[in-house]
Amino acid sequence: MAEEKKDYYEVLGLDKSADDAQIKKAYRQMAKKYHPDLNPGNAEAESKFKEVNEAYAVLSDPEKRQIYDQYGHAGFDPSSGGFSGGSGFGGFDFGDIFSSFFGGGGSSSARKNTPRRGDDITYRLTITFEEAAFGCTKDIKYNRIEACHECNGKGAVNESDIETCSRCKGTGTVTFTQKTMFGMMQSQKTCDSCKGRGKIIKKACPNCRGTGNIKITKKLDVKIPAGVDDGARICLRGQGNSGINGGGYGDLYIILSLRPHELFEREGNNLFCEVPVSYVDLTLGGEIDVPTLTGTVKYTIPEGTQTGTQFCLKGKGVVIYNTERYGDLYFTVVMETPKGLSPEAKAALRHYSDLCVNNNYTKKQRFYEKLTKIFKKK
């Protein structure tokens, strides 16, 4: 279901009796408050900015305002038999409207020649279960953009081959006058002579062709700390792409994926596994071999242990990242029923069964007692 649009007067904080001057003033205040350049990365502000511009495009036009006052939003909805064709806002560019109001100061094009940090890079690395537990060093290769080593990122063969753009005087933007709905206004745009850089390169560096940057395949040794888990991110500062106009390098993010282990499951820093044991081991108790990440250890299970019982080895899990503490290892004993017994073994088992009495099987005895009660009730 589509979200219901807000009332245009409410969006601008106006009464329906507002005149043109009040509408212009309200728009100017709201547009400046929510403009994306003044609220970078703020999705809510961006949405508000669109609402403000949409409201102004209608209420500032006498014909559109009259339609809206009479029919509301339906007057611009083709599916409702409205009058809108295309966008319904007369082809206004909201960025240009804002630029006209505030002299282009809020325009991103006015800042193209300022230093900008390079982009971050994401690299996915798969390691083994043990490498994550104990830590390791991995060699990786990835593509990134670096400052050209031949010209040190200047883009020119020599320093003397770089001169200030005569048209924009090094600002990267040019000011011009244009006719708007509010009269003649000054605005700014990117200088088309220097493409917003503020400088002209007379003799470009042949290695980077004047861009100042080159694309390379970089080799890097990455240290994986002990105790990392699946999905962990490692940030390597300054190993991302080169910046623009002298801006710093971005970062490299290593995202880890762990291969599954043949025996262990991991939850946080604890390990879990199953250990198959014989009927005799469970019945009589005794020492069994339990696997850990560093080898097997001996563990004595008590007499009469039931299959499915879980035991814990303290401190035999995975090291807790950046500490000297470890998680635990939980193992579950599971009885394995023997197959392919010899006649002698079968005879011995039958003899053993004859020697057992009901008291040796408490669960079995309770089960049949409950069963007997159920049938007596019937």
pLDDT tens across 83-102, in order? 444 344 444 444 444 544 44
pLDDT of residue 182: 58
Q: CA-CA distance, 296 to 313, in Å (whole number)? A: 12
Instruction: Give Cα separations from 103 to 165, 188, 205 (angstroms).
Output: 21, 7, 36
pLDDT of residue 270: 97
Kind and range of the H or E element at 138? Answer: strand 136-147
Residues in the chain with pLDDT values less than 50: 1-2, 80-97, 99-110
Q: CA-CA distance, 26 to 18, in Å (whole number)? A: 10
* Residue environment code for 311-330, b if the CB has 16+ CB neighbours within 10 A, otherwise e: beeeebbbbeeeeeebbebb
Q: CA-CA distance, 300 to 290, in Å (whole number)? A: 10
DSSP letters for 172-205: SEEEEEEEETTEEEEEEEE-TTTTTSSEEESSB-
Hey, what domains does the chain have and what are their CATH numbers?
Answer: 8-92 (1.10.287.110), 121-258 (2.10.230.10), 265-335 (2.60.260.20), 343-377 (no CATH)
